[in-house]
Homo-oligomer: A and B are copies of this chain.
Amino acid sequence: MILLDGKKTSADIKEEIALEVGELKRREKKVPHLAAIIVGNDGASLTYVNAKVKACERVGFESTLIQLPEETTEDELLNEINILNVDNDIDGFIVQLPLPKHIDEQKVLLAVDPAKDVDGFHPENVGRMALNLPTFISATPFGILELLERYEVETSGKNVVVIGRSHIVGSPMSILLSQKRKVGNATVTLTHSRTKNLEEITKEADIIVAALGIPEFLKGDMVKDGAVIIDVGITRVADPSKKSGFRLVGDVAFDEVAEKSSFITPVPGGVGPMTIAMLLKNTLIANKRRNS
């Protein structure tokens, strides 16, 4: 069994990006600039967005954090977005989700210029992804593709079972892995809460992407020997033995599944750490497209 080490891989990617940024600087080219808008004071969201800003600094990107108060109106937010859309110095930007309830999330995501939408959430970019056109693939699916590629996991002709049909992970993963692309050409089955006999289906899978958000859902007897396991879940589970009082658990019962698998992502340290690296990669891509 080989661990698909997201922590190490994301560090590798960041290092590669830092080298590219160094090269841009040496050639006196514009350095990638990522902006992030956050509305309100949600603790978890602030932590996420600060981690993104810090990651920018570490690889040599410019970054701008725009913190707006909880009571920001939709129009005010749309106005901020428009300023970033037309600001030539900004290569890409994100609007940290979730937004306060008085703001229409869809309207906001639609306002972002698709060429700067490094989260890949604009319907035009989702459509480009589905059509296998140049786009920004959103961070989690992009990170999974990157992990599979770097560990040279064969996907062509393999049976892939995706568990969970979320717009963020399950659905795009099922689309991407079935496409004619380097990490792709798989026969993909997308399963979800209405699926019958899930166990029969997962047992036939060469690769399983578990993205349903139920801790330790995928058990050892649901997978075949040698399967590749991608665990997207991450849930806090109470654990009095820990100083923090909790531990992080994936959608996979790790120990029993790991001993049957050929490759598996740990939780934490698997898919999670890849997301910020892929956001940086999308920002670098945006910078290159804008300056080519």
Contact = CB atoms under 8 A, between A and B. Distances in A.
Contacts of A127: 122-130
Interface in A158-210: 159, 165, 167, 171-172, 174-175, 178-180, 185-192, 194-196, 201
Nearest to A177: B190
Contacts of A167: 130-132
A98 interface: no
A156 interface: yes
Contacts of A189: 187-189
A106 interface: yes
Contact of A126 (B130, B172, B187): B130
Interface string A118-150: 000011111111111100000000000000000
B178 A187 contact: no
Contacts of A130: 126-127, 129-130, 167, 171-172, 175
Contacts of A190: 174, 178, 187-188
B165 A179 contact: yes
B175 A185 contact: no
Contact of A201 (B124, B171, B180, B187): B187
Contacts of A132: 167
A205 to B, nearest CB: 11
Contact of A187 (B133, B185, B187, B195): B195
A104 to B, nearest CB: 12
Contacts of A179: 165
Nearest to A120: B127
13 contacts: A122-B124, A123-B127, A123-B128, A126-B126, A127-B129, A127-B130, A130-B130, A174-B190, A175-B175, A187-B191, A187-B194, A188-B190, A189-B189
Closest 7 CB pairs of A and B: A127-B127, A123-B127, A126-B127, A189-B189, A124-B124, A185-B194, A187-B195
Interface of A: 106, 122-133, 156-157, 159, 165, 167, 171-172, 174-175, 178-180, 185-192, 194-196, 201
